[in-house]
Copies of this chain bind each other. A is one copy, B any other.
Amino acid sequence: MNKKSALELAATCFGFAALALSGCSAPKQTQAAALAFAGETIELASPDNNLKVTFGLTADSVPAYQLTFGDKTVVKPSRLGLKLKEGDLAKGFVIADKKTSSKDETWTPVWGEESEIRNNYNELCVSLNQPSTDRTMGLTFRIYNDGLGFRYDFPDQKKLSYFVVMDELTEFAMTGDHTAWWISGDYDTQEYDYTQSRLSQIRTLAPGARQENSSQCAVSPTAVQTSVQLKTDEGLYINIHEAALVDYSCMNLDLDDKNFVFKSALTPNAIGEMARCQTPFHTPWRTVMVTDDARKTLASRLILNLNEPCAYEDVSWIKPVKYMGVWWEMITNKSTWSYTDDFNSAHIDTDDYSKAKPNGKHAANNENVRKYIDFAAANGMDQLLIEGWNIGWEDWFGHQKDYVFDFVTPYPDFDVKALNAYAKSKGIRLMMHHETSASIRNYERHMDAAYQFMVDNGYNAVKSGYVGPIVTPGEHHYGQWAVNHYLYAVKKAAQYKICVNGHEAVRPTGLCRTYPNLIGNESARGTEYESFGGNKPHHTCILPFTRLQGGPMDYTPGILDTRMSFLDNTDHSTVNTTLCKQLALYVTMYSPLQMAADIPESYQRYADAFQFIKDVAIDWQKSVYLEAEPGAYLTIARKEKGGENWFVGGITNEYERTATVDFSFLDPGVDYTATIYADGPDASYKEKPDSYTIEKKTVNSETKLEIKCASSGGFAISVMK
């Protein structure tokens, strides 16, 4: 998303009122009668015996499951099954077979929050037969100490080779009117502010929670997106999401707000089908994470563990990246992506840009880019992203334009070879940008040439974008057709040893374990919205519980000059954080791809604070979650991979608080030098965002520090051995 698209285009946006016109099919809501098992049930417990899933059939032979945590019910008996074009797989089953097994292994991610991940679960595979159709459907449950994953399995069989999913009936029956941190269900965007409310309040609050977006299509008045974070009045933290979304449509959760039952609401294609499948096939995992401590939710590796191991033999070319960008100055309207105002509409196949009059505001010009290269290289960045380098930006958006970009032709003022050579001479790389304008067919037609162009010119990472309605008529960003494309792009990029950071793509579901060149995604409301009016102060206190469960986010933190008026004198809004909270995000928002998003002038002005961004690691040996409550606060400490230094970040929502940092994670008996970047005594995100202090202290494993966070404030600490 960018500013132009968010502010100028309302024509393609749908609210609930427009639902009937939009082609979106709203799932119908029926009041569910409570399910009950009839006959045999099968129970599977977590390795620590605390979390238990029970599977069985109802009196109608409907498959169902329930989940308990100790003596507390988490998910009441809930139905399973699918509606198919070829006849439903919803009831009339018998249990044909069941098998249990266990796994306890440790695997090594290419990059991550820790250098080794334990994968320890018990598994139950149930084979269900539907005698009336002679078809078999399996269910696999994997139960961990911190959650459950289950999926549908369809073995290769005579009576079921190809099928079309018209609806997935999976339910998650909650026990009450929990507190939820949610964004409204949508087939085309996740770029909404989070709302904290009771489940029963969603219907009332949803219309106000659906900010305009360049592409949006509502699911229903009560639907929410995954991952959704819940908290029970008994203090359980429940999180519902999915893992390993491959060649299937993405799941929203439609809420029956009388009974507090969530039901899977898949994303339809242009003709209302949810997925087309060929056996053998299995759905993505449906996941229910449960803990009694919010810190354990952050420490969970459930989603990653449910994904397949790395698909690549050689991963030596995949590296975490700290980068700057010629970007924030466009987002804030100081400069433009486009090169000229000459064209009434752009025709990249015939327009002669060399003869066009420059508009004088084009940021991706040789001189400006060299200035950024100099600064990025001098400050230890790995790469420099440049947006708006290629022809077509004059009217790239909102026109359902097929041939919108070619991904290889630079503007006349952007010398690809010279700039890459210059960057190389300074020890950094340029980062490629492929905005597709959601013209996916056009992108696929040019993809090989575009990736080869990258290789030929020394690029090894690309930020791709899918702004606006999917140009293929009737398709959605989160439907099977587009989901198939995003992974196609990542797998093809791997053939060229290119890392992908996909914006406006489907939300991640842990696929970065299998395809670690998927080094980042947007798939939520990022820092760019700080320039469109701001994110809510609690936003980054929620994202690690929700969006980040599936994989890293290219949140693009590091806006040290929080005044928009500095860049655009018509805009008097500010970033809704203090300066120090921006620093803390480098620790609290885990990503192997971290941007220093502000412009060089801001970093020069706040050079002492910028030091933290220069110092902070981007790959980790270990992470310790010191304090956490969704929507309220976070304090996280991480140890760099391949080194002895630690970095600590703490943030709060709009309410001031005092964080306690317990340094017991440090090696005992060793003194470390802590550099503490903290909100100043008079700091607040509204009045004094850039009031901060920098203090050096000696700390050891016995140290406990209390650090005051301002309203929407935070702190960052580098702890050097």
Interface status of A374 (Cβ within 8 A of chain B): no
Interface status of A484 (Cβ within 8 A of chain B): yes
Interface status of A655 (Cβ within 8 A of chain B): no
CB proximity to B under 8 Å, residues A396-434: 399-402
Interface status of A523 (Cβ within 8 A of chain B): no
**A472 to B273 CA separation, bound complex (whole angstroms):** 12
Q: Which of A41-49, A218-226, A441-449 lies on the face that meets chain B?
A: A441-449
**In the complex, what's the smallest C-beta–C-beta distance from A243 to chain B, in angstroms?**
22
User: Does the CB pair B441–A278 fall under 8 Å?
Assistant: no
22 intermolecular pairs with C-beta atoms under 8 Å apart: A23-B271, A156-B345, A158-B344, A161-B395, A162-B399, A162-B400, A164-B400, A269-B473, A270-B271, A270-B475, A271-B473, A273-B473, A276-B400, A278-B345, A278-B347, A278-B401, A402-B484, A441-B441, A441-B444, A448-B448, A472-B481, A474-B474
User: Does the CB pair A345–B161 fall under 8 Å?
Assistant: yes
**In the complex, what's the smallest C-beta–C-beta distance from A389 to chain B, in angstroms?**
23
Interface status of A496 (Cβ within 8 A of chain B): no
**A273 to B161 CA separation, bound complex (whole angstroms):** 34
User: Does the CB pair B270–A473 fall under 8 Å?
Assistant: yes
| A276-B400, A441-B441 known; A344+B475 contact, CB < 8 A | no
In the assembled complex, which residues on chain B have CB atoms less than 8 Å from the CB atom of A402?
Answer: 276, 484
**A481 to B470 CA separation, bound complex (whole angstroms):** 13
Interface status of A569 (Cβ within 8 A of chain B): no
**A647 to B473 CA separation, bound complex (whole angstroms):** 49
Q: Which of B162, B399, B445 contacts A345 (CB 8 A)?
A: B162
Question: Which of A158, A273, A276 has most chain B Cβ within 10 Å?
Answer: A276
In the assembled complex, which residues on chain B have CB atoms less than 8 Å from the CB atom of A359?
Answer: none
**In the complex, what's the smallest C-beta–C-beta distance from A514 to chain B, in angstroms?**
16
Question: Which of A278, A399, A402 has most chain B Cβ within 10 Å?
Answer: A278
Q: Which of B157, B270, B444 contacts A474 (CB 8 A)?
A: B270
In the assembled complex, which residues on chain B have CB atoms less than 8 Å from the CB atom of A278?
Answer: 345, 347, 399, 401
For A3-24 the 0/1 string (1 means CB < 8 A from B) is 0000000000000000000010
Interface status of A279 (Cβ within 8 A of chain B): yes
**A158 to B441 CA separation, bound complex (whole angstroms):** 28
**A448 to B488 CA separation, bound complex (whole angstroms):** 16
In the assembled complex, which residues on chain B have CB atoms less than 8 Å from the CB atom of A161?
Answer: 344-345, 395, 399
From A447, which residue of chain B is reached at the shortest CB distance? Answer: B445
CB proximity to B under 8 Å, residues A433-478: 441, 444-445, 448, 472-475
**A472 to B484 CA separation, bound complex (whole angstroms):** 12
In the assembled complex, which residues on chain B have CB atoms less than 8 Å from the CB atom of A474?
Answer: 269-271, 473-474
In the assembled complex, which residues on chain B have CB atoms less than 8 Å from the CB atom of A399?
Answer: 161-162, 278
**A151 to B679 CA separation, bound complex (whole angstroms):** 68
In the assembled complex, which residues on chain B have CB atoms less than 8 Å from the CB atom of A441?
Answer: 441, 444
CB proximity to B under 8 Å, residues A358-408: 395, 399-402
**In the complex, what's the smallest C-beta–C-beta distance from A38 to chain B, in angstroms?**
33
For A222-250 the 0/1 string (1 means CB < 8 A from B) is 00000000000000000000000000000
Q: Which of B344, B345, B395, B475 contacts A473 (CB 8 A)?
A: B475
**A444 to B445 CA separation, bound complex (whole angstroms):** 7
For A152-168 the 0/1 string (1 means CB < 8 A from B) is 00001110011010000
Question: Which of A162, A164, A273, A401 has most chain B Cβ within 10 Å?
Answer: A162
User: Does the CB pair A445–B488 fall under 8 Å?
Assistant: yes
In the assembled complex, which residues on chain B have CB atoms less than 8 Å from the CB atom of A472?
Answer: 270, 472, 481
In the assembled complex, which residues on chain B have CB atoms less than 8 Å from the CB atom of A344?
Answer: 156-158, 161, 279
User: Does the CB pair A345–B279 fall under 8 Å?
Assistant: yes
From A278, which residue of chain B is reached at the shortest CB distance? Answer: B345
From A400, which residue of chain B is reached at the shortest CB distance? Answer: B276
From A276, which residue of chain B is reached at the shortest CB distance? Answer: B400
In the assembled complex, which residues on chain B have CB atoms less than 8 Å from the CB atom of A484?
Answer: 402
In the assembled complex, which residues on chain B have CB atoms less than 8 Å from the CB atom of A23?
Answer: 271
16 A-B pairs besides A270-B472, A472-B472 with CB distance below 8 A are A23-B271, A161-B345, A162-B399, A162-B400, A270-B271, A270-B475, A278-B401, A402-B484, A441-B441, A441-B444, A444-B444, A444-B445, A472-B481, A473-B474, A473-B475, A474-B474
**A341 to B488 CA separation, bound complex (whole angstroms):** 30
**A269 to B473 CA separation, bound complex (whole angstroms):** 7
**In the complex, what's the smallest C-beta–C-beta distance from A517 to chain B, in angstroms?**
19
**A493 to B649 CA separation, bound complex (whole angstroms):** 56
CB proximity to B under 8 Å, residues A705-719: none
CB proximity to B under 8 Å, residues A249-281: 269-271, 273, 276, 278-279
**A161 to B400 CA separation, bound complex (whole angstroms):** 12
For A646-682 the 0/1 string (1 means CB < 8 A from B) is 0000000000000000000000000000000000000
**In the complex, what's the smallest C-beta–C-beta distance from A492 to chain B, in angstroms?**
9
Q: Which of B162, B444, B473, B475 contacts A401 (CB 8 A)?
A: B162
Question: Which of A157, A344, A472, A473 has most chain B Cβ within 10 Å?
Answer: A473
From A395, which residue of chain B is reached at the shortest CB distance? Answer: B161
**In the complex, what's the smallest C-beta–C-beta distance from A638 to chain B, in angstroms?**
39
From A156, which residue of chain B is reached at the shortest CB distance? Answer: B344
In the assembled complex, which residues on chain B have CB atoms less than 8 Å from the CB atom of A162?
Answer: 345, 399-401
**A481 to B162 CA separation, bound complex (whole angstroms):** 26
**In the complex, what's the smallest C-beta–C-beta distance from A325 to chain B, in angstroms?**
30
From A399, which residue of chain B is reached at the shortest CB distance? Answer: B162
For A337-354 the 0/1 string (1 means CB < 8 A from B) is 000000011010000000
**A610 to B488 CA separation, bound complex (whole angstroms):** 50
